[in-house]
Amino acid sequence: LSASAATSLRGRPRERRVDDALRQATRELLAEVGYAALSVEGVAARAGVGKAAVYRRFRSKAELVFASAVHGPDLPPPRDTGTLRGDLAVLAEGILGSLTTPVSAEAVPGLLADLAKQPEIARRFQATFIQHEQVRVETILERARSRGELRESPDPALVHALLLGPLFAWLFLLRRPPARDLGERLADLAARALGPVGPPPPRTGPRTAKKR
Amino acid sequence: LSASAATSLRGRPRERRVDDALRQATRELLAEVGYAALSVEGVAARAGVGKAAVYRRFRSKAELVFASAVHGPDLPPPRDTGTLRGDLAVLAEGILGSLTTPVSAEAVPGLLADLAKQPEIARRFQATFIQHEQVRVETILERARSRGELRESPDPALVHALLLGPLFAWLFLLRRPPARDLGERLADLAARALGPVGPPPPRTGPRTAKKR
Amino acid sequence: LSASAATSLRGRPRERRVDDALRQATRELLAEVGYAALSVEGVAARAGVGKAAVYRRFRSKAELVFASAVHGPDLPPPRDTGTLRGDLAVLAEGILGSLTTPVSAEAVPGLLADLAKQPEIARRFQATFIQHEQVRVETILERARSRGELRESPDPALVHALLLGPLFAWLFLLRRPPARDLGERLADLAARALGPVGPPPPRTGPRTAKKR
Amino acid sequence: LSASAATSLRGRPRERRVDDALRQATRELLAEVGYAALSVEGVAARAGVGKAAVYRRFRSKAELVFASAVHGPDLPPPRDTGTLRGDLAVLAEGILGSLTTPVSAEAVPGLLADLAKQPEIARRFQATFIQHEQVRVETILERARSRGELRESPDPALVHALLLGPLFAWLFLLRRPPARDLGERLADLAARALGPVGPPPPRTGPRTAKKR
DNA sequence: CGGTAATCGAGACGGTACGTCTAGTCTTAAA
DNA sequence: TTTAAGACTAGACGTACCGTCTCGATTACCG
């Protein structure tokens, strides 16, 4: 998740100070004015840095913001709470937390829009953010299966969407303030939805009688 | 949902032709070049219309796109399929459909980003798009309760997020192609999460103590 | 100098009130904001009149201003003061006066610029403003010749330029404030320049006491 | 007279090529379409330059045209012809020449109009164009006095107006084509107006006490 | 130690879109 | 046919960024 371009060994080395100042300035400006109103010129000025120093590190504004605002795979591995529901709750709270920092809150929608047109950034976003969470989902599902809570592991992507999606929708589509226990409630619903998969143990007739 | 400004009765009336041409041009360009690369100048030119005619109707690019790309409350009331799961499936397929038109697919992320900084548009978005779907959710939940499928109605916003969120996440965050039965599968999961599933699963561990 | 377009006899007759309000509003705005910042919309609004009513009377902004700001041939015929120098002084003071009203002062440079590109208006300007003054010059020269002050009449256009030019230059090129006796001083110089052409006129009367 | 902004020593220096291309394009377009129809966008396009490069150098269209069209103080010092009349003729021909280039002819009236509302440009116009010519007038008057052609030096501004004014009026107010010897004729008249003509006219009364 | 090479801040470069403004024309309903 | 009101096309205005490039001045490593 560090900067980007191939760092040659020859010539004057990059200054760490510049990297830090850029990250800092980007985060500040994101929180202050939001993604759309954030300009590379503004970031460079705030960081006391030339524009070239920015573009030497990031190919575009989207990359700059992405690298500065999105946390990397620095989360601890998912804690084992003993139940699927508990594991999912921990994960959901983590996702919720990373979506509600002042920085993320401003950056996410704009970043998403840029992703739509910059496949390269989109790929990195997948690899850094999405993929990493999905691995955690897989781990959790695996555990649940070995506990006997699940008969067969569902598609991890679907489960991921089942947690991430409603959180995102709540915050950015419905634009509701995040309730304290939102993550837990969604984890609860998700666990319930995944519950015993397939036709309730052998013998249970056609899926028709869903009634009650 | 129509254009915007108070339609005065005096003076030359707005030309319908212009409204139509603008909507048409906007949709075409959205599908062709996407939201970011769409320019008001381009839309006006394609529509054979002066820029002033655009800004007389829409305060910004976001308003223009919103009004042109987002379907209004022109959906039929939710069909009663006889089961909660069925009703949700119909709704989910509808949402999925409206998110996967060539126009929406391009417009949604950009629109979302603009929403973040333009409260006025955000309000309209809520009223037009979100609110209307939420009413449908309420209707469906009401029906389910009168059928006895649900004991108590959950928060419609939460249920809405439970359907809309995963669909959105699947398409725009995970960037996966929409499977044919995606809506149905999510409706299935949602129904399962909301109510007791079929015959209570025999003995599947501590599903009892559900929070809240 | 009245308005312009062919006034049909059929249909509703034009309202005098509109003509007056337009003239009035144009003069006010000229004095307030100057020629460049004066807009037809502004004039119409100030006059409480529709834009169409303006363009029904004047083909362009230049025509509007020209008709509203430039005095017509409403000057009395040049008074005979008894000397060429005196006659020229009266004329020069008249020209100076017409160039230094608040309205003219603002209108003249802008009008001049538009004249450069609108031959039609330029023609009317010649006919209304220039020609009329030139006739006065001719009259004055004729008188001087019959008095014996001049041997032969010089080109009236040149004499006109000799009076009008320096006044214009003083005001609009050098941008100096008009001295009280500027007209008189220039008339003095002009009379002197025209004076006895070639060898001093044989024995001609009272050219003596030119002093003040 | 050069461009404008303080030329900082830091950062990338301005490109000479851009300055030249802008001046060139402005002059071409002035001659082709005139002042009113000249647009900054057009100039930039013709010069193969971004609009920003123009506005980095000139605050407005008026400044651009002024800097491109008006000759600087690059005239040689006024040649001494031996007589006041001769000196004035040289000067008048020079002024006439500078007012009748294709570029000036188109630029002057428009520039004059813009001067009326932009005091900053007006000031520069004074300093560059007017003042410089006035110094030449002073030189000429001084010479004439030391020759004994003039008893006392009149106001140089008035003399300047006496030459420049009629030329301007002839060209832009009366809109007459410039005669070959126009400058000389005006210089003749001016010399006559200023001083005793030729051999002091025998006995023509008290021409001595000339006013002021 | 002197050269090579990449860095630094600064800011100009070509492009492009923005949202505003005005000109002059056209269209409505009412008079 | 006029009126007031205001929509219409067309296009310039001056501002703001983007991402690239260029300047002179550092600052490391390499030979």
| pLDDT at residue B13 is higher than 90 | yes
Q: Which of residues 11-50 of D touch strand F (CB under 7 A)?
A: 11-13, 38-42, 50
Q: Which two tokens stand for residue C71?
A: 């005095």
Q: What is the pLDDT of residue A48?
A: 97
Instruction: State what percent of residues in chain A have pLDDT above 70.
Output: 86
Residue B35, CB-side half-sphere exposure with 13 Å CA sphere: 29
Per mean pLDDT, which range of B2-11, D26-35, D37-46 is the poorest?
A: B2-11
| pLDDT at residue C34 is higher than 70 | yes
Q: What is the pLDDT of residue A182?
A: 97
Average pLDDT over residues B111-124: 85
Nearest residue on chain C to D163, alpha-carbon basis? C166
Cα separation, A68 vs A40, whole angstroms: 13
Report chain D residues whose CB lies below 8 A from the CB of C185. Answer: 158, 211-212
Chain D neighbours (≥3 Cβ pairs under 8 A) are C
Strand F proximal to C207 Cβ, under 7 A: no
| pLDDT at residue C205 is higher than 80 | no
Is chain B adjacent to chain D, meaning 3+ CB pairs within 8 angstroms? Answer: no
Q: Which of residues 144-203 of C touch strand F (CB under 7 A)?
A: none
Report chain B residues whose CB lies below 8 A from the CB of A167. Answer: 165
DSSP per-residue letters across C117-155: T-HHHHHHHIIIIIHHHHHHHHHHHHHHHHHTS-SSPPP
- The residue that leads in pLDDT, A127 or D209, is A127
Contact between B96 and B178 under an 8 Å Cβ cutoff? The reply is yes
Contact between A98 and A39 under an 8 Å Cβ cutoff? The reply is no
Query: What is the greatest pairwise CA distance in chain B?
Result: 75
Contact between D163 and D190 under an 8 Å Cβ cutoff? The reply is yes
Q: What is the pLDDT of residue D124?
A: 84
DSSP per-residue letters across A51-88: HHHHHHH-SSHHHHHHHHHS--S-SPPPP--SSHHHHH
Report which residue is nearest nucleotide E26 when distances run from CA to C1'.
Answer: B12
Cα separation, D139 vs D153, whole angstroms: 11
| pLDDT at residue C207 is higher than 50 | no
Angle between helices A156-168 and A131-147 (to 10 degrees): 120
Name the average pLDDT for chain B. Answer: 87
Cα separation, A101 vs D120, whole angstroms: 50
Closest CA to B25 of B45, B6, B9, B11: B45
Chain C neighbours (≥3 Cβ pairs under 8 A) are D
What's the CA–C1' distance between C6 and E10, in Å? 64
| pLDDT at residue D141 is higher than 80 | yes
Is chain C adjacent to chain D, meaning 3+ CB pairs within 8 angstroms? Answer: yes
pLDDT grade for D168, boundaries at 50, 70 and 90: very high
Contact between D137 and D91 under an 8 Å Cβ cutoff? The reply is yes
Whether residues D211 and C188 touch (CB distance < 8 A) is answered with yes
pLDDT grade for D6, boundaries at 50, 70 and 90: low
Report chain D residues whose CB lies below 8 A from the CB of C157. Answer: 170, 174, 176
User: What Cα–Cα distance (Å) separates residue D185 from each residue in B63, C37, C88, C158, D92?
Assistant: 68, 39, 20, 9, 9
pLDDT grade for A6, boundaries at 50, 70 and 90: low
Q: What is the pLDDT of residue D120?
A: 80
Per mean pLDDT, which range of A205-209, B41-45, B75-79, C93-97 is the poorest?
A: A205-209
Cα separation, D18 vs D52, whole angstroms: 11
- The residue that leads in pLDDT, B80 or A128, is B80
Strand F proximal to C1 Cβ, under 7 A: no
Q: Which residue has the tokens 């006796």?
A: C181
pLDDT grade for C211, boundaries at 50, 70 and 90: very low
Strand F proximal to A174 Cβ, under 7 A: no
Cα separation, C112 vs C66, whole angstroms: 10
Q: What is the pLDDT of residue A152?
A: 86
Q: What is the pLDDT of residue C173?
A: 95
Q: Which two tokens stand for residue A150?
A: 């699940």
CA–centroid distance for D56 within its chain: 26
Q: Which of A98, A121, A167, A211 best probes binding to B when mutated, by most B CB atoms within 10 angstroms?
A: A211
| pLDDT at residue C4 is higher than 50 | no
Candidates B112, B166, B192; nearest CB to A165: B166
Whether residues A212 and B149 touch (CB distance < 8 A) is answered with yes
Q: What letter represents residue C26's amino acid?
A: T
Which run of H or E residues covers position B184? Answer: helix B182-194
Average pLDDT over residues D120-137: 89
Nearest residue on chain A to B190, alpha-carbon basis? A193
Report chain B residues whose CB lies below 8 A from the CB of A158. Answer: 166, 170, 185
Name the average pLDDT for chain D. Answer: 87
- Give pLDDT tens digits for C139-184: 999 999 999 999 888 999 999 999 999 999 999 999 999 998 999 9
Contact between A46 and A104 under an 8 Å Cβ cutoff? The reply is no
Average pLDDT over residues B104-129: 87
Report chain C residues whose CB lies below 8 A from the CB of D116. Answer: 34-36, 106, 109-110, 172
Instruction: State what percent of residues in chain D have pLDDT above 70.
Output: 86
Report which residue is nearest nucleotide E30 when distances run from CA to C1'.
Answer: B10
Nucleotides of E under 7 A from a protein CB: 4-28, 31
Cα separation, B109 vs B105, whole angstroms: 8
Closest CA to B21 of B61, B50, B1, B60: B50
Instruction: State what percent of residues in chain B have pLDDT above 70.
Output: 86
- Give pLDDT tens digits for B87-116: 999 999 999 999 999 998 899 999 999 888
What residues have CB less than 8 Å from A44, skipping those under 6 apart? A22, A25, A50, A51, A53, A54
Chain A neighbours (≥3 Cβ pairs under 8 A) are B
Report chain D residues whose CB lies below 8 A from the CB of C172. Answer: 112, 116
Closest CA to B69 of B120, B6, B129: B129
Nucleotides of F under 7 A from a protein CB: 1-23, 26-30
Q: What is the pLDDT of residue C62?
A: 93
